[in-house]
Chains A and B, each alone.
Chain A
Amino acid sequence: MQKIIVCLKRVVDYNVRIRVKPDNSGVITDGLKMSINPFDEIALEEALRLREKGQAEEVVAVSIGPEDAQQQLRTALAMGADRAILVQISAELEPLAAARILLKIVSREQPGLVLLGKQAIDDDCNQTGQMLAALWDRPQATFASKLELNGTVATVTREVDAGLEVIEVDLPAVVTSDLRLNEPRYVKLPDIMKAKKKTIEVLPIESLGVDVTPVLRVTRYETPAARTKGGMVNSVDELVSALRDRGLLA
């Protein structure tokens, strides 16, 4: 296969606990640590391994986001992506709009495989890969925990509620990563230096001719009601009798 596209979203780092603005108009993201969405890092790692096995020639990292998303693309280049594309937009996107933009990139680049994360940990939508596959009229294999390429088909093991489902898809196809697909590599300093020479192509959103106006209106953000902190018990006897009092144990 010639090319794999990996879609990377810049998100608030998963270790950061987000807070809602006091006026309920959004969440506070200023000054927070930003990272590549963890699922996308796994997707990138998978693409790099396929290339290292000789099953792909080029790995292209794509992100749609603000100018600062170049930081995450630099990390991707340091991990080993060959080149990167930033579709620059400052506003928030709905997954359908992201999928429409990605379709433009896919049409131009003609990859054999598009890898995405199964979900972005900010919006938790879990939609973009499936939508891209629909618009592209190609197969989708979501929640992948194993991916094997054999010529013109990919065999994918998917983590589903009932266990592990194995499907076979014709290439080109869209695959979204689950957590157990692999463990991403660490970036080494020399790689960061080398990555500086690689290019990030910046495409202004206007150049793509995609309508990105959100359809859904978010009217309010709020903090969920916290569970009230219960009590500690000091012994198994206390625990068991408390559970009996609540009718939970016979």
Chain B
Amino acid sequence: MSRILIIGEHSGGHLNQSTARCVACAVAIDPSAIEIVVLGGDATTVAAEAAALIGVAGVLTVTNPANSQPLAAVLAPQIASLAAAYDYVLAPSTTFGKDLLPRVAALLGVPQLSDVMSVLGPRLFQRPIYAGNALITIEVPTGTKVVATVRSASFKPVGNGTAAPVRPAEVAVPLPTHTRFIELCSGKSDRPDLQTARLVVSGGRGVGSAENFALLYKLADRIGAAVGASRAAVDAGFVPNDMQVGQTGKIIAPELYMAFGISGAIQHLTGIKDAGTIVAINKDGEAPIFEIADLGLVGDLFLIIPEIEKRLR
């Protein structure tokens, strides 16, 4: 039996869905003893949500005002001290997990695996390199703790079942004060979350301006989609950074991805290769995005979007 500890990610008082995806990865490794640790200022609601996930045997909480913001330098020593009792430490491959887990691994003195996309055996994992142009199989030797981030788009979130026990964990480590949270600026919207949405409408440089993005928002709202963007659209200031899809943005796996005015650079495609259906609308019939699109339509997005809307019920 292997003991697996998952670092629960949460924000706004709720567990992030990437944690449920991490549990799915843990179940594939060894379903017998999976626990989630929730670190926060107040962990009650988040812990209850974590305890309800199918496959979870227990939830640990570490409550401390210092944990109310996800600062890696503060959280890492606490997780490292808990990790002693576990064979595996997993975190989602979100900006939260990517920031935190390498710091934990270094404190433990073990290497880390990034972006695990499949579990081939209890110590055998697959992950992408070179922007997903190659996949490698990695074996972690027996006796070495497995510390890994889990590529969210590769695992379906587990559902909810009966609640597992929740208990507070004792951690007695000094916490640094050298790192201080100031603020988080996020563009709140009522649209579905890009990382979990079933449908995504996305725009690139071809959209032309921030004002023109209104066309995409309108279409998205009609069909209940989230809105994404290419790096070029973010760099040009059309949309905020949290909408970037790709190698260095969000890796997503919606059932439908509609790309408008996106050429299809490899760094962008890395972010959508697990999407169900990819639709590409581009005025250039030679655009590389058509190489991977399931449904391609050559034409001007400014004419096509209103035409699509007309046909919606």
Contact = CB atoms under 8 A, between A and B. Distances in A.
Contacts of A124: 114-115, 128-131, 247
Contacts of B130: 12, 18, 27, 121-122, 124
Interface residues of A, number: 84
Contacts of B107: 134
Interface residues of B, number: 88
A142 B98 contact: yes
B277 A163 contact: no
Given A160-B96, A215-B141, A229-B291, A95 B111 contact: yes
Contacts of B178: 138-139, 169-170, 173
Contact of B106 (A99, A161, A246): A99
Contact of B241 (A130, A145, A221, A231): A145
B277 A219 contact: no
Question: Interface on chain A toward B: helix, strand, loop, or mixed SS?
Answer: mixed
A90 B103 CA distance: 26
A168 B137 contact: no
Contacts of A58: none
B281 to A, nearest CB: 8
Contacts of B106: 96, 99, 130-132, 134-135
Interface of B: 11, 71-73, 76, 94-96, 98-107, 109-115, 124, 128-141, 144, 176, 178-187, 195, 199, 223, 231, 234-235, 240-242, 247-248, 250, 255-256, 266-267, 273, 276-279, 290-298, 304, 307-308, 311-313
19 contacts: A17-B133, A118-B248, A121-B130, A124-B128, A125-B112, A140-B99, A140-B179, A142-B72, A143-B95, A159-B241, A161-B250, A163-B242, A165-B181, A180-B241, A221-B137, A230-B295, A240-B312, A243-B279, A248-B276
Query: What 7 pairs across the A-B complex have the smallest Cβ distances?
Result: A163-B186, A230-B294, A134-B106, A130-B102, A131-B106, A127-B102, A166-B182
Interface of A: 12, 14, 17-18, 20, 27, 94-96, 99, 118-119, 121-135, 137-143, 145, 155, 158-170, 173, 178-180, 214-224, 226-227, 229-240, 242-243, 246, 248-250
